[in-house]
């Protein structure tokens, strides 16, 4: 009885908190998208209905992965990685990859748009965890070659935000697999040089950096997005304007129902509302950290570390972008932002954690 109580105390937040956040996100996706949805599709409920379907499919995904033995993922990891690489190449082909807002990141399958970069996050966690679950010498060059190749394909889209996340997830898993310290000196040096040239050679990345360093430099141009986010958050004050009272959702705030949805929540429910969501995320992240400590073997530990990095990095980078602590790089906030690919991958990873938790000895 005591074991069952402890398991439920650990298990329930892994499921309930993502569901709560997804339902909260569903409400605010409707709030933030009703005007643009009506304008684009003639249906103010378009994004709401679409996200509701994804949440339902996400619940099914959790159930499926919770019953798949995580050890079997070892055999699926290579296939998943190869499929990811193929899709990352296919999405770059004109006429196949859909170009939206200057970026070619989606493959239109008719009933939904597949975003290969989201599958890349999942694949890299499973593949690297499987690879590094057995100790192996002289793996630095194969590791860094693989990661550079994946990051290169993603930057070609371009998608700097996802490239940063996949790179950091990979480095974190590599570190906890027992890598040498000297390897990280090479990685750090190479990253700084690469980042410099990526910013230097791309006007839009350089403009984003300028907007980050000085948000008031061009309020109607390169710093328009961050300026509108600040207006949204500042007008929310301590308790917010109230439900449905956001003004920024009326086509002022770009990506209001996706990457910038936290700004709408902050505007309507203020500092208190935003803080409650952060606390829920903190509890959820802590439960993943607790699972890392209890992991029954090396494979499950590395997978849990990768999942921990996956959720933390997206949450921190998105929130830092909203508050001006990091450049805006187009990273969704897990469970709240609109988007089927990210939601399904998030729920799949939760399912894997549930499966690992079943094998934890209490």
Nearest Cα neighbor of 262 from 222, 230, 304, 238 is: 230
Higher pLDDT pick, 171 / 210:
171
**Tens of pLDDT along 56-73?**
999 999 999 999 998 888
Alpha-carbon distance 153 to 144, whole Å? 14
pLDDT for 174 equals 94
Higher pLDDT pick, 199 / 361:
199
Q: What is the pTM of this model?
A: 0.92
Q: What percent of the chain has pLDDT over 90?
A: 39
Average pLDDT, the chain: 86
pLDDT at 111 over 80: no
pLDDT for 254 equals 81
pLDDT at 275 over 90: yes
pLDDT for 82 equals 94
Q: Which of 95-104, 118-127, 136-145 has the highest mean pLDDT?
A: 118-127
Higher pLDDT pick, 13 / 258:
258
pLDDT for 303 equals 95
**Tens of pLDDT along 309-342?**
999 999 999 999 888 888 888 888 999 998 888 9
Helices (H), the chain: 2-41, 46-67, 73-90, 116-132, 140-155, 160-176, 181-200, 203-213, 224-236, 261-294, 298-322, 340-358
Q: What is the mean pLDDT of residues 15-44?
A: 87
pLDDT at 5 over 50: no
SS (H, E, C) 8-44: HHHHHHHHHHHHHHHHHHHHHHHHHHHHHHHHHHCCC
N-to-C CA span, the chain: 12
Q: What is the mean pLDDT of residues 230-251?
A: 82
């Amino acid at each position: 009885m005591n074991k069952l109580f402890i398991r439920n105390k650990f298990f329930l937040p892994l499921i309930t908190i993502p569901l709560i956040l997804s339902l909260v996100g569903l409400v605010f996706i409707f709030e933030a998208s009703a005007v643009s949805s009506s304008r684009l599709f003639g249906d103010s409920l378009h994004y709401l209905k679409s996200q509701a379907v994804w949440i339902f499919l996400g619940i099914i995904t959790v159930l499926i992965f919770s019953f798949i033995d995580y050890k079997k993922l070892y055999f699926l990891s290579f296939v998943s990685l190869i499929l990811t690489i193929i899709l990352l190449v296919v999405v770059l082909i004109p006429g196949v990859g859909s170009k939206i807002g200057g970026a070619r990141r989606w493959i239109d399958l008719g009933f939904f748009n597949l975003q290969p970069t989201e599958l890349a996050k999942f694949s890299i966690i499973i593949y690297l965890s499987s690879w590094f679950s057995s100790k192996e010498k002289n793996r630095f060059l194969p590791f860094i070659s693989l990661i550079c190749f994946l990051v290169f394909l993603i930057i070609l889209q371009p998608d700097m935000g996802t490239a940063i996340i996949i790179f950091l997830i990979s480095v974190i898993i590599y570190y906890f697999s027992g890598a040498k310290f000297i390897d990280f000196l090479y990685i750090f040096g190479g990253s700084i040089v690469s980042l410099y040239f990526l910013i230097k050679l791309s006007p839009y990345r350089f403009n984003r950096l300028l907007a980050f360093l000085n948000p008031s430099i061009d309020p109607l141009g390169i710093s328009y997005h961050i300026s509108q986010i600040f207006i949204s958050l500042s007008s929310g004050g301590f308790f917010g304007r109230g439900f449905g009272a956001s003004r920024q959702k009326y086509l002022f705030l770009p990506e209001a129902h996706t990457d910038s949805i936290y700004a709408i929540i902050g505007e309507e429910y203020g500092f208190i509302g935003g803080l409650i969501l952060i606390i829920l995320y903190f509890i959820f992240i802590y439960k993943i950290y607790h699972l890392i400590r209890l992991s029954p073997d090396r494979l499950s530990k590395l997978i849990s570390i990768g999942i921990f990095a996956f959720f933390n990095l997206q949450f921190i980078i998105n929130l830092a972008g909203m508050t001006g602590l990091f450049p805006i790089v187009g990273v969704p906030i897990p469970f709240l932002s609109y988007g089927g690919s990210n939601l399904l991958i998030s729920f799949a990873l939760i399912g894997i954690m549930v499966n690992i938790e079943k094998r934890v000895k209490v």
